[in-house]
Structure 1
Amino acid sequence: MDLNDIVFKIKKTINYLEFYSVFMKLKKVGSTYMAICPFHMDSNPSLSVDINEGLWYCFGCNKGGDIFNFIMEYEDINFIESINYLIDYLNLDIDLKKYYQENELKIESISKEKSHSLLKLFSEYYNKVLLKTKVGKKALDYLESRGIDKELIETFLIGYCPKNIQNTLTFISKKNINIKDLINTGLIVEKGKDKYYEIMNSRITFPIFKGNKVIGISGRAIDDKMEPKYINTIGLQKNSTLYGLNITKNYIKSENKAIITEGYFDALSVYKIGFKNVVAIMGTNISQEQLNLLKKYCNKVLLILDQDKSGTEATIKLLLLFISNNFLVEISLFKGYKDPNELLVSNPEELKESIINAIDSFEFITNLYKLQKTQDKQNFLEKIIIPYLSYISNLLVFEEYLKKFSNISKIDIPYLKKLIKNYIKENKNIQNKLAQSKSLQVTQFTDTTYNLEKIVIKEYGDKLFILSFFFYKFELFLKILKEKEYLITEAFKNLNEVEEKLYEHLIKCKEDNTLPNSYLLYELKLEELIKIIAKIISKTNNQSLYDYSINILKNIYNKSIFEEIKEALKNNDLLKAKELQNKIIKN
């Protein structure tokens, strides 16, 4: 059984309605099913599912495809991992790893999967060392001194790496782990022949999840004299995920709000006092990837960062980023303590109150404006207040804030609008519609609206598109072949290598009386076409799809005739050109 057969078996075995119902509540609308999209903040069902073909498409965020794309998007995994996921889901007796070993194939995704598995295994090992051995007692005492109890340790899989590597080497031997694979994860460093150093030794370990995978481990020294205080496994991209999201995402979705902290201990502290909709950004910066990740679950955030000067500066910076990405923002403030974890240890009730009594972002920045020295107020106005107001997309809220700030600052509204107008002109990433909705009369930025399908089809070409389309609508291919065979045979002349592969597969499926296997589309890197095909099928009935296919085939056919006419005219063969002209199909 090769990978092609595995994909075919999955698609033959799966019940599409049952599968998609695991992740979304489906509602039948006509011949299709609609659902609230899990990939963006969706209030009205915008995701369409075709349970006959297994295709899905969201008209809100323009994501779509088949079952493999869905799992890749939902679990943030690659194609090979999505196959493995579906094998497990269907309880199929297929060992994908064994398949690769037997065929002596080395695929990057498999080695990554091995790395993630080892990181998960060692996170569990370190967790056991912390909770169940004498070696971990010092680290356990340290964590308890910071308010982190055993329940939190178990929930977030916090661990401790022992100082003596011999314990780990014994574990490696017992589990029959290849030391070279472990070196590739960054957990072990080779110091010479048969000499190894454990990178996390004497540190508390925090596994960093992305979806259901551990993509790295961060270690915190329990001795404050030990430098650096934090160390990460090689290649850990913290800006691609959010700490704790694997545990808290459903709470965030339920509340439509995420509480944002800087570090691990702060997030754990907030979680401990009952606010389970919390994540840590693992620093004071947030990437666009992290912002997009949050958008899947909420459109409100509450920032609870360090309360010192640098923490306030970070709060302002993050506040503007969140507002510019259409989040509603609140700020939690408290006095006398540096961060949420310090407050948890001394006064957990006060920490709880600071979250309950969080203020909105407008109140936060206007309070800061009032605290500025007279000579600093203009700079604060231009650098903070004006960008903030420029990003407010709700007209009523914008007008209210503008009026309030004018009263606070004693600055005329026309002058404020002029500053906002200039800021928007200088920052074209702010959508023109914001400026227009606020009656600022800003010169319109030209923005051509494109038809997504046409762009993608043009990029890949009509032939490649319609051949890929027939993989999901094979019955139309057979119908056209039966009724208008010349269209198929003439349209698919002079194919390139990729087109030839698809065409040969379709013809072979007809001869063998089997269905096409979409694995070939993934193998040829045509995922973008799959998404567009899903969109077209989801909004079109079968008769219209038939007419649509005929029109594309006619266009391909006519284009080839036009090329032949041009060649005939170039050779002054007017008779042949006239004969060819009679072959053109008129709509």
Structure 2
Amino acid sequence: MTGIIPEEKINEIRGSIDIVDVIGEYVHLKKQGRNYFGLCPFHGENTPSFSVSSDKQIFHCFGCGAGGNVFTFIMDIDGIGFQEAVIKLAQKANIELSIDPKIDQRSEGNHTSDHQKMLEAHALLQKFYHHLLVNTKEGQEAFEYLIQRGFTRESMEKFQIGYALPSWDFTVKLFQKRGFPLPLMEKAGLIIKKESDDTYFDRFRNRIMFPIMNSKGQTIAFSGRVLDKEEQPKYLNSPETELFNKSSVLYNLHQARSFIKKQQQAILFEGFADCISADRASIYNGIATMGTALTEQHVQQIRRLTDNIIICYDSDSAGTEAAYKAGQMLVEHHFNIRIARMPDGLDPDDYIQKNSAEKFRQDVIGASMTFMAFKMQYHRIGKKLQNEGEKLKYIEIIINEISKLENAVERDHYLRQLAEEFSISMDALKQQQLQAFYANKKKNSFMGQSTNHKVLVKQEKKILPAHQTAERRLLSHMLRDVEIAYKVRDLLANHTFNIDEHQAILTYLLGFYEEGNEPDTSSFLLYLPDQQLRRVVADIEMMPLNSEVSNQEIEDYIIQVLKHQKMLKINEKVKEQKKAELENDLQKALSIANEIIQLRKSL
């Protein structure tokens, strides 16, 4: 399973890194007791059921069943092979490997080769565009324009901003010279094929180029801004490709990740230009969607880092609507939301130019309001509150929103605001708010019946039969102690576990020990060839269990295992007895009845 990477190197890597640190880069973890918990990155959930054990160096999700060690986590989360995961973790641990990092890419065929060529082409263009902007006369006009807009050379370097020449075939010739297939470059969205013939031309011409990078920091697309105000569109983006999917890309996530985790807050902007402007104002935890509404994929990526978000969109009608929809989605996923409002219809870049970076930090981001306060403003839009009917409708909407707040102090705070503004008694508002609260509760209870059914079924399945619990506890002790493993084998004699997966784990575990390995669950998980078995082991290892176990306890578990087998045999005999009686074979029925009596006595 380990290929050409020596076993001792794999053990060295595993011993040099902490699974909590590695998973903590993808999942926002909080310590509870001995383990760390967070929201599972492999399925959508609102309540943390993803557990990581620093002691055992394993992870397990009690919701979807995912489980394994640090290598299998990287394989699953990044969608890569074992060797590539080992290489990635070796780099993290500063351990040298005498292996070609591209070995997996060669073995995975043309698809991976094409994918890699697309990435290499984007990286090549990024370097050329950046060089043209900062080092050539051709890029001087674009460079000076950016300086006038408040960009520094440092920010141009940080975001690798560049410039595309006004040429129709600069990129095409560059790719031809470097040996990149033009049809593949068209597929990558970097050049365009003419409909009239088989020739190609550059997609981006005479534009300031902003590279768009994925969460790993690899360039996967570009956005080009015009220099000539008469030219349209203002921004030209790469089309969606195999590399670039707008619904799953968050701009600047690769650079903002550590700041988001450290500050436990992300600032969500409407576009990448706002994100760059905010960075110039020393706001380093900013991220942005790529010209699309917030999606479930975006939300899951943010959830791995923090539960706290400030939404800073433009204050025009489109930006306000987008902020409201994004806020609603994030609240449904139990985020703590604040809204930063831009004054006078300005975007962050305009505001910083007009005022200052410090005022932007203090008066916009620092003065962000709660989502409830924002909703009270949002629902005013288009309403004439001096009109009695519209005023009552507005109050009804806001009371309904207040009733959704979990915190009683918050509810009281906003009800008092309504009471003061519209001269309504608190008693009347509280009474209506309670009515709205119970109406929402009844509605949510009804709506949740179908979705909660699966959860209830899952919870019911956790109440396991005695024999299954006994087998799991035996395996747990066997994973920790070689002597117990052999003792269980001897006590079972020629019998097996009742659950096929448990028996398979037992067989592999005995083989693992017979090869001279010491108890080490993280190492054993690599030894197992089957993902489902790894999940079961991770689940078993997360069970709360006393470290000390007596011989009597082990024997009691064995009795439960064998007892179930006898019960199954009794059930079979009962069926045989009934069949014999139906066939009027009374002698056979009597003989089977005696067997059943003896079996029941042995219980």
The amino acid that maps onto 1:226 is Q
The amino acid that maps onto 1:355 is I
| TM-score normalised to structure 1 length | 0.74
**2:158 paired with 1:155:** yes
Give the CA deviation at 1:307.
Answer: 1.9
The amino acid that maps onto 1:217 is A
Paired with 1:388 and 1:84, the residues of 2 have a C-alpha distance of 51
1:421 aligned residue: 438
C-alpha distance 303-18 of structure 1, shift in aligned 2 (>3 A): closer
1:518 aligned residue: 525
Gaps of 5+ in 1: 41-45, 433-444
Paired with 1:311 and 1:246, the residues of 2 have a C-alpha distance of 25
The amino acid that maps onto 1:320 is Q
Paired with 2:65 and 2:509, the residues of 1 have a C-alpha distance of 28
**2:89 paired with 1:86:** yes
Paired with 1:330 and 1:181, the residues of 2 have a C-alpha distance of 44
- The answer to whether the Cα contact below 8 Å between 1:390 and 1:424 also exists between their aligned partners in 2 is no
* Structure 2 SS opposite 1:543: coil
Paired with 2:529 and 2:509, the residues of 1 have a C-alpha distance of 16
Paired with 1:7 and 1:130, the residues of 2 have a C-alpha distance of 46
* Structure 2 SS opposite 1:491: coil
Paired with 1:453 and 1:446, the residues of 2 have a C-alpha distance of 11
* Structure 2 SS opposite 1:303: strand
Give the CA deviation at 1:269.
Answer: 1.1
1:288 aligned residue: 296
Equivalent residue pairs, number: 551
The amino acid that maps onto 1:396 is V
The amino acid that maps onto 2:433 is L
The amino acid that maps onto 2:250 is L
Give the CA deviation at 1:280.
Answer: 1.4
**2:239 paired with 1:226:** no
Deviation string 1:25-69 (CA, Å, 9 cap, x unpaired) is 9xxx9xx966696989xxxxx976344x42246999998642125
5 Å matches for 1:114-513?
119-120=122-123, 122-162=125-165, 164=167, 167-168=170-171, 171-172=174-175, 182=185, 185-188=188-191, 195-214=199-218, 216-222=220-226, 225-227=231-233, 229-232=235-238, 233-235=240-242, 236-283=244-291, 285-348=293-356, 351-352=360-361, 353-367=363-377, 372-373=383-384, 374=387, 375-382=389-396, 385-386=398-399, 388-411=401-424, 412-413=428-429, 414-428=431-445, 455=461, 474=479, 476=481, 479-487=484-492, 489-492=494-497, 495=500, 505-513=508-516
Between 407-416 and 446-455, the greater mean CA deviation after superposition: 446-455
Between 160-169 and 84-93, the greater mean CA deviation after superposition: 160-169
Paired with 1:219 and 1:62, the residues of 2 have a C-alpha distance of 40
Paired with 1:547 and 1:7, the residues of 2 have a C-alpha distance of 42
Paired with 1:129 and 1:546, the residues of 2 have a C-alpha distance of 76
Between 510-519 and 393-402, the greater mean CA deviation after superposition: 510-519
Between 362-371 and 264-273, the greater mean CA deviation after superposition: 362-371
Give the CA deviation at 1:262.
Answer: 0.2
C-alpha distance 285-494 of structure 1, shift in aligned 2 (>3 A): closer
Give the CA deviation at 1:534.
Answer: 4.5
1:441 aligned residue: none
C-alpha distance 115-519 of structure 1, shift in aligned 2 (>3 A): farther
2:576 to 545, 551, 571: 571
Paired with 2:528 and 2:419, the residues of 1 have a C-alpha distance of 59
Give the CA deviation at 1:265.
Answer: 0.9
- The answer to whether the Cα contact below 8 Å between 1:159 and 1:204 also exists between their aligned partners in 2 is yes
Between 218-227 and 167-176, the greater mean CA deviation after superposition: 167-176
Between 518-527 and 78-87, the greater mean CA deviation after superposition: 518-527
Paired with 1:294 and 1:207, the residues of 2 have a C-alpha distance of 21
* Structure 1 SS opposite 2:324: helix
Paired with 1:168 and 1:388, the residues of 2 have a C-alpha distance of 54
The amino acid that maps onto 2:525 is S
Between 201-210 and 235-244, the greater mean CA deviation after superposition: 201-210
- The answer to whether the Cα contact below 8 Å between 2:275 and 2:287 also exists between their aligned partners in 1 is yes
C-alpha distance 363-99 of structure 1, shift in aligned 2 (>3 A): closer
Paired with 1:458 and 1:215, the residues of 2 have a C-alpha distance of 49
Paired with 1:370 and 1:321, the residues of 2 have a C-alpha distance of 21
Paired with 2:174 and 2:96, the residues of 1 have a C-alpha distance of 30
Paired with 1:109 and 1:503, the residues of 2 have a C-alpha distance of 38
Paired with 1:84 and 1:397, the residues of 2 have a C-alpha distance of 50
Paired with 1:292 and 1:549, the residues of 2 have a C-alpha distance of 43
Gaps of 5+ in 2: 26-30, 42-49, 578-591
C-alpha distance 99-279 of structure 1, shift in aligned 2 (>3 A): closer
Give the CA deviation at 1:188.
Answer: 4.6
* Structure 2 SS opposite 1:571: helix
C-alpha distance 510-522 of structure 1, shift in aligned 2 (>3 A): closer
- The answer to whether the Cα contact below 8 Å between 1:424 and 1:430 also exists between their aligned partners in 2 is no
**2:567 paired with 1:562:** yes
- The answer to whether the Cα contact below 8 Å between 2:312 and 2:339 also exists between their aligned partners in 1 is yes
* Structure 1 SS opposite 2:102: helix
1:19 aligned residue: 18
**2:542 paired with 1:542:** no
Structure showing greater Rg? 2
**2:532 paired with 1:529:** no
C-alpha distance 12-259 of structure 1, shift in aligned 2 (>3 A): closer
Paired with 2:97 and 2:261, the residues of 1 have a C-alpha distance of 32
The amino acid that maps onto 2:156 is I
5 Å matches for 1:49-88?
49-51=53-55, 53-56=56-59, 65-71=68-74, 78=80, 80=82, 81-88=84-91
C-alpha distance 338-494 of structure 1, shift in aligned 2 (>3 A): closer
* Structure 1 SS opposite 2:220: strand
Deviation string 1:54-105 (CA, Å, 9 cap, x unpaired) is 22469999986421255468x755454533312333322233532563xx44
Paired with 2:71 and 2:304, the residues of 1 have a C-alpha distance of 19
Paired with 2:123 and 2:298, the residues of 1 have a C-alpha distance of 22
* Structure 1 SS opposite 2:232: coil
- The answer to whether the Cα contact below 8 Å between 1:456 and 1:529 also exists between their aligned partners in 2 is no
C-alpha distance 318-420 of structure 1, shift in aligned 2 (>3 A): farther
* Structure 2 SS opposite 1:14: helix
Paired with 1:581 and 1:108, the residues of 2 have a C-alpha distance of 62
| TM-score normalised to structure 2 length | 0.73
Paired with 1:110 and 1:457, the residues of 2 have a C-alpha distance of 48
- The answer to whether the Cα contact below 8 Å between 1:481 and 1:488 also exists between their aligned partners in 2 is no
Give the CA deviation at 1:264.
Answer: 0.8
C-alpha distance 531-501 of structure 1, shift in aligned 2 (>3 A): closer
| Percent identical residues | 20
Give the CA deviation at 1:185.
Answer: 3.9
Give the CA deviation at 1:272.
Answer: 0.8
- The answer to whether the Cα contact below 8 Å between 1:241 and 1:293 also exists between their aligned partners in 2 is no
- The answer to whether the Cα contact below 8 Å between 1:161 and 1:205 also exists between their aligned partners in 2 is yes
Paired with 2:190 and 2:554, the residues of 1 have a C-alpha distance of 54
Paired with 2:328 and 2:236, the residues of 1 have a C-alpha distance of 28
Paired with 1:21 and 1:138, the residues of 2 have a C-alpha distance of 49
Give the CA deviation at 1:306.
Answer: 1.2
Give the CA deviation at 1:220.
Answer: 2.9
* Structure 2 SS opposite 1:518: helix
Deviation string 1:320-371 (CA, Å, 9 cap, x unpaired) is 3344444443333344344222223333355343333334444444345567
The amino acid that maps onto 1:271 is D
1:438 aligned residue: none
Give the CA deviation at 1:263.
Answer: 0.4
Deviation string 1:431-454 (CA, Å, 9 cap, x unpaired) is 99xxxxxxxxxxxx9889769797
